[in-house]
Structure 1
Amino acid sequence: MQPVIFGIVLAMYLVAVMGNALLVTVACSDPKLHTPMYFLLSQLSFIDIFLTTITVPQMLVHTLSTNRIISYNCCMIQLFFFMAVGSMEGHLLAAMAYDRCVAICDPLRYSAIVSHRLCLRITLTSWVIVSLNSLLYSVLVTHLTFCGNQVTHFFCDITPLLQLSCTRPVVNEMLIFTEGVAVVVSPFFILGSYARIGIAIAHMHSIAALRKALSTCSSHILVVLLLYGSVIRMYLRPSSSYDLDQDRQVAIFYTVVTPMLNPLIYSLRNQEVKGALRRLFRKLWISGNFQPGSQANREWKHES
């Protein structure tokens, strides 16, 4: 089954990378998408590319290889980047929830409240927070004593490394349920944003306004459910309930399937993104047909 698994995971990885790269290209190249919301969306797509690239290529190599070795230093580096990027995704979704909340609850002041400068500050601040948090976890893991050198996972994650420790890592587990909750689950003020949105929707008397508000939030809600459903299942549970097989399945969903679905969710359910994609493909088609030396260009010159 290894070649079959390799082919399936490789296909999903390529779809995830190309889909998110296309979304970043559209958000950066189309002037109509130069808004705070699509800046945050392009950052989320960049994070999804980074997240899959941290784990999946090594998994693909090890799937078809008998030498499934990763050095200790590379394992710690992978752990650091995985935790930082994974936490950053939650912060971006929280910022996007705040953006939607202001757009629906206070639309007249939206441009004054949510600006490109604010989004840039939120992004940079979030990177600093998640990097320091990930560095703390990585340093604590390096001080553990391990009984063996076989990580029962397809990448170096915090849970399988704690399971490999000879003694119960009480400090690490306390951090996961205290400081870790503050960093990873703190973006759950998404719930607060959507509580305000729900109140605003309840007071809407126009069916058209209600429909527009729901369509504005539906894609984001779906992405939030996919992300946090996986995160809660993977990390916010006692170590005694750890199940290797289930954890691998959830990890595959979190690192491959969710990044693959995110651009599809935002492109298929968003008229502005679909319009930008059509304009981008039309521009590429026209530039390809009228390049110097192309057959179409030569025929056009000859006829004129």
Structure 2
Amino acid sequence: MVVFLIAVSGNSLTLLLICADPRLHTSMYLLLSQLSLMELMHVSTTIPKMATNYLSGQKSISFVGCATQHFLYLTLGGVECLLLAFMSYDRYVAICHPLRYTVLMNRKVTLMMAAMSWLGASLNSLIYTAVLMHFPFCGPRQIHHFYCEFPAVVKLVCGDISVYEATVYISTLLLLLLPIVLISTSYVFILHSVIQMRGSKRNAFATCSSHLTVVTLWFGASIFSYMRPRSQRTPLQDKVGSVFYSIITPTLNPLIYTLRNKDVAKALRRVLGRDCIIKRLQVQLS
């Protein structure tokens, strides 16, 4: 619950700062706000139910609740993969084509990127969740996990689902590898441009360091959880991987972006300073 409160506070603060400060109404921070919203929903999908079950001692979830949780976590995971890829393209344009940045990354393009991330991931998740929940379940219906994650739920299905599992595996592979390819390509061009710069190279690349850190954490944990062969998986390993990308990463992301981002730090000081001025005026008027 402490981790949950830190994650909610950090991501909510990032969202509020981006909304409150007009200087942060740019493409980069609009995508960052979508990432914070996604992280906020991610921790809210798993931790409250897990904490409720732990505190009440009733470790159960309804069929509809399980399907909803499965759909949400799959959607949010897909959204993060796509958003991180679009954010790398944003950094590529900002560093390699700075004079054309406002044209190539205008508000319409940014909103389209955000909409594509949410709609594409939602549609993919809806299809696979609907098909999975129509399979017959047998046995004790005991999920060896702290939420309804795909590998844990699929083990309860009766019958042959090898075709379905192969389809999900290919879909997950594409959803992970295509963004990784786009991110890698963007950073190859970014590094090439930074090397050719005569001025301060550190300042040019500083805007990418936070994004690279988040990309490493997210895709590393996702590949560990979903790209390993089924024969090499254990319930404990699945739980550890899930804790990392569904709880730890959403908690660290706002800290990574706010602590290492001068614009966000300045926005926080401006908002706090504005509140202090308002309070002083209210005291004087009273």
TM-score, structure 2 as length reference: 0.95
* Residue 181 of structure 1: aligned partner: 173
Report the counterpart of residue 193 of structure 1 in structure 2: 186
Cα pair 1:130 1:183 within 8 Å, conserved: no
CA deviation profile, 1:233-270 (whole Å, cap 9, x unmatched): 11112211111112112211111111111111111111
List per-residue Cα deviations over 1:115-151 (Å, max 9, x = no partner).
Answer: 1110101111222211110011112212323232111
Letter aligned with residue 169 of structure 2: F
The superposition leaves residues 33-91 of structure 1 with CA deviations (integer Å, 9 ceiling, x where unpaired) of: 11000001111000000000011100001112221111111101110111001110111
State the distance in 2 between where 1:61 and 1:86 align. Answer: 23
Q: Which residue number corresponds to residue 165 of structure 1?
A: 157
* Aligned counterparts of 1:172 and 1:297: Cα–Cα separation in 2: 68
Query: Counterpart in 2 of 1:270?
Result: 261
Match of 1:259 in 2: 250
Structure 2 unpaired stretches of 5+: none
2:115 match? 124
Q: Which residue of 1 aligns with 2:197?
A: 204
Q: Distance in 2 between matches of 1:179 and 1:254?
A: 19
Name the structure 2 match of 1:107: 98
Q: Which of 237-246 and 218-227 deviates more? A: 237-246
CA distance in 1, matches of 2:184, 2:19: 29
Partner Cα separation in structure 2 for residue 62 and residue 175 of structure 1? 33
Choose 1 or 2 for highest CA Rg.
Answer: 1
One-letter code aligned to 2:259: L
| Distance in 2 separating the partners of 1:166 and 1:213 | 55
AA of the residue aligned to 2:188: A
SS for the counterpart of 2:124 is helix
Residue range with higher mean Cα deviation, 40-49 or 132-141: 132-141
Q: Output the CA distance in 1 between the equivalents of 2:16 and 2:144.
A: 37
Is the counterpart of residue 49 in structure 1 residue 2 in structure 2? no
Is 1:221 aligned with 2:212? yes
1:185 deviates by 3.4
**TM-score, with length taken from structure 1:** 0.90
- Structure 1 stretches of 4+ with a deviation exceeding 6 A read none
1:35 corresponds to 2:26? yes
Name the aligned partner's letter for residue 167 of structure 2. L
Aligned-residue identity in percent: 39
Deviations 1:264-284 (A, max 9, x none): 111111111100000011112
Once the two structures are superposed, what CA deviation does each residue of 1:188-235 show, in whole Å capped at 9, x if it has no partner? 2111111111221222233x1x11122110000000011101110111
| Contact 1:133–1:183 (8 Å) recurs in 2 | no
Structure 1: distance between partners of 2:250 and 2:29:
17
Q: Which secondary structure does the structure 2 equivalent of 1:274 belong to?
A: helix
